[in-house]
Amino acid sequence: MSSPAYGSQRPFEFGRAFTFAFEDPDWIKKIAIGGVFTLLSALLIGVFFVMGYQVRLIRNVANAAPRPLPEWDDLGGIFSDGLAPFGASFVYGLGAALLVSPFFCMMAFAGPMLGGEDGGAAGAMMVIGALVFYASIFVISLGLWAWLPAVLLRVALMGRFGAAFEFGEIAGFIRRHLVNYLLSLAAVLVASFLAQFGILLCCVGFFATTFLSYCILAFNVGELARLDAGR
């Protein structure tokens, strides 16, 4: 995976993902601003800034910047950086919806198609259809959740939208770093769980801690990129 200049060859710093932000003297301001944009994601506009910030954080970590949290002094540039990963996520989400649509149709039309037959058979078909539908949603959503961080990384390092669909390169990167990649995903789950406690701060803290969990994800995949021997 080619990229801009990569940093040192120190080992993968899994634990630092939970502490690196606090090493920055301006971490409160940076995370607070990120929390505001996370809140504004409900209006869509904030998503571009959050994803653009992740892109810049990934690049900083990949290049071994001592304080990788980016500044918020270039909002236009951060917004632009978020366009490609957002577009890629949208395309992947649309593809996932198309994959589950046949199962939805099976569930929706099983009852009417069997309406004139035995009610038990119609009910059984609807139950089976519902189980298959929700199982397909779970499996596809899980796969998408595991795949998209590597897509975000690829787009961040290549700087182009098409990189999101270079499936061989993305799969190869995951394969080369499978254990650490899975650990990175686990770290995001832990961070997302801890973010729920931000609700105790009148919800304001929730958005800041949620944004911090996004930063933890970006840090970890950036660390893997720094070490990637296949770049």
Q: Does pLDDT of 146 surpass 80?
A: yes
Residue 10 burial by CB count (10 A; 0-12/13-18/19+): exposed, middle or buried?
A: exposed
26-51 pLDDT per residue, tens: 999 999 999 999 999 989 999 999 99
For the stretch 101-131, pLDDT in tens is: 776 676 666 555 555 555 566 667 677 777 8
Domain ranges of the chain: 15-227
The whole-number pLDDT of residue 100 equals 78
Residue whose tokens read 């236009």: 76
Q: Check: pTM over 0.75? Answer yes or no.
A: yes
pLDDT tens track for 181-205 = 998 898 888 887 776 665 545 455 7
Say how far apart CA 228 and CA 67 lie, in whole Å.
Answer: 21
